[in-house]
Structure 1
Amino acid sequence: MRLSNLADYAIVTMCAASRHCGGGRTSAADLAAETGLPVPTVQKLVSKLSAAGLIRSTRGAGGGLQLARPAAAISVADIVEAVEGPIALTACVEGGDCAVSEDCSVRPHWPVVNDALRGALAAIPLTQLARTKEMA
């Protein structure tokens, strides 16, 4: 399994956003500058992360972006699902097409595997990833 570039970039963006916790708001352009990601990519991510309730956007003077909840309450699983949808290693669990679905003896066990993977990612809070190298 490998995260998509967009999911990876979402985690990087959320780490940068978390460094603004408790302070003022930031912008997509500032997050792009901090992370080295293209502004359009960060804007797309901010839209997805906002729709998932992970980032809050405020318009107007003094507006900007901030985490919608404390960084310690946001997990890697939350971020990945905001971009990729539910964590599932196989398409059959989500009702996708499979050539052997009628005769597959493993299919009933995939939810257990997916739950274990999601649980592992859910156990990693954003605060852990956002630490700088000196703090780790």
Structure 2
Amino acid sequence: MRLSSMTDYAVVIMSAAARHCGTCSLIEQAGGKRARISAAQLAEETGLPAPTVQKLVSKLSAAGLMRSSRGVGGGLRLARPPATISLADIVEAVEGPIALTACIDRAKSDCTLESCCNVKGHWPQVNAAVRGALAQVALTQLVEEV
């Protein structure tokens, strides 16, 4: 299994945003505002093309992982503290629900083995295990130095 480059880029963007956010929940508890960053700054910092960053920010915002605001002091910020955002959340924001095979989705399944497949019933358990593993990795972990 390999994630798309767009999903990889989304993880890079979210990690960069988390580095700028810092300890968001502590800032908010103190009555402050979360740090913000522009899409142009994210593009420059990550080395990704600006149109790619804008496209991914749109997907991440639609999934409730980022928020944007306009005007003075505007920009992008994480919608939640980074400790509450998992790798699974980011993957699903770009790829959709985690499913290793197409046969799980009846609308997309065109498998010639479907009528005699003995494995199909096991894929939900496998998908849940993969999602569970990705859900265990918080965005805060992806920001830490390796």
- TM-score bin (small chain): over 0.9
Counterpart-to-counterpart distance in 2, 1:99 and 1:37: 40
- How many residues are matched? 133
Counterpart residue type for residue 58 of structure 2: S
What does residue range 67-86 of structure 1 map to in structure 2 within 5 Å?
A: 67-86=78-97
Matches within 5 A, 1:31-42: 31-42=42-53
Task: Give the aligned partner of residue 10 of structure 2.
Answer: 10
Give the distance between the partners of 1:58 and 1:69, measured in 2 at CA: 15
How many Å apart are 1:94 and its aligned residue? 1.5
Counterpart Cα distance in 2 of 1:106 and 1:44: 36
Q: Which runs of 5+ in 1 are unaligned?
A: none
For residue 37 of structure 1, report the CA deviation from its aligned partner: 0.5
User: What secondary structure, in the 3-state scheme, does the structure 1 residue paired with 2:90 have?
Assistant: helix
Aligned structure 1 segments of 4 or more residues deviating by more than 4 angstroms: none
Give the CA RMSD over aligned residues.
0.9
1:10 CA displacement: 0.2
Q: Which amino acid aligns with 1:70?
A: P
Cα distance, 1:32 vs structure 2: 0.6
- Matched AA of 2:11: I
User: What letter corresponds to residue 2 of structure 1 in structure 2?
Assistant: R
Q: What's the offset of the Cα at 1:56?
A: 0.4
When normalised by structure 2's length, the TM-score is: 0.89
Per-residue deviation, 1:24? 2.4
Letter in 2 for 1:105: N
**Counterpart in the other structure of 1:123:** 136
